[in-house]
Amino acid sequence: MAESQTLARPYAEAVYGLAREQGSVDNWAGQLSSLVRITTESQISDLINNPSAPTGVVAGVVNAAGATVLTDDAKRLVDAMAANRRLATMSEVKVQFEALKALDEGRVQANVTSATEMSATQQAAIKAALDAKWSANVEIAFHIDPSLVGGAIIQARDWVIDGSVANQLKKLAAVIAQ
C-alpha cells in the first residue's frame, strides 16, 4: 500500500497543480473518477497488470475505452502513466487528488479501520480528537477489517497510528525471532 501511495503521489500532485492552474479541479475530479472506473474494469486491469503488454497498447486501450468522456489532458496523463507502468495506481492517484483538494478547502480526510464496528460514542470521540489535532472539521470514513484482530488504524494526511492487535503481534514475532 505504501508503495502504491509513493508511486501515485507525483501524478496526483501534477494533476492537482494543473487542475488548479486551469481552474478545473472539479472537472479533473470527474476525469479521475472515469479513469478509475476504466482502469479497474477486469479485462483492462488484467491488461494493465500484464508485464508483457506493450505500454503503447495499454494506453491506447484505456484511452479508447474513455474516448467519449476523457479530455485530451486526461489522455496525456494515461499516456504518461502507461509509459511508466503506473496505471495500476490510478485509484490511489484519485485518492491523493481528493486529499489535496480537501486540504485546499480546509478540510481533512481521515480513515479509521477497526477490527469490529465502532459504537457511535467511540466514533464521536475519535472525531473530536482528530478535529482538535488538525484544527479542522475532519471527515472520517470508518471501515471494518476483521484481520486486524482488535484495535484500529487511524490515517489522516501522511499521519498514521497503527494500534491494531495484528500489528502488535507482528512486532512481537519480530522481537522473538531475533
| pLDDT per position as a tens digit, 36-94 | 999 999 999 999 999 999 999 999 999 999 999 999 999 999 999 999 999 999 999 99
Angle at 11 (CA atoms; ends 8, 14), nearest 5 degrees? 145
* 89 in Cβ contact with 3 (< 8 Å): no
pTM above 0.85, yes or no: no
* 87 in Cβ contact with 39 (< 8 Å): yes
Report residue 130 as a C-alpha cell: 482528530
* 151 in Cβ contact with 115 (< 8 Å): yes
One of 3.90.550.10, 1.10.520.20, 1.10.287.1080, 3.40.190.10 is the CATH number of 2-101, namely 1.10.520.20
pLDDT value at 1 more than 80: no
pLDDT for 2: 57
Report residue 114 as a C-alpha cell: 477497526
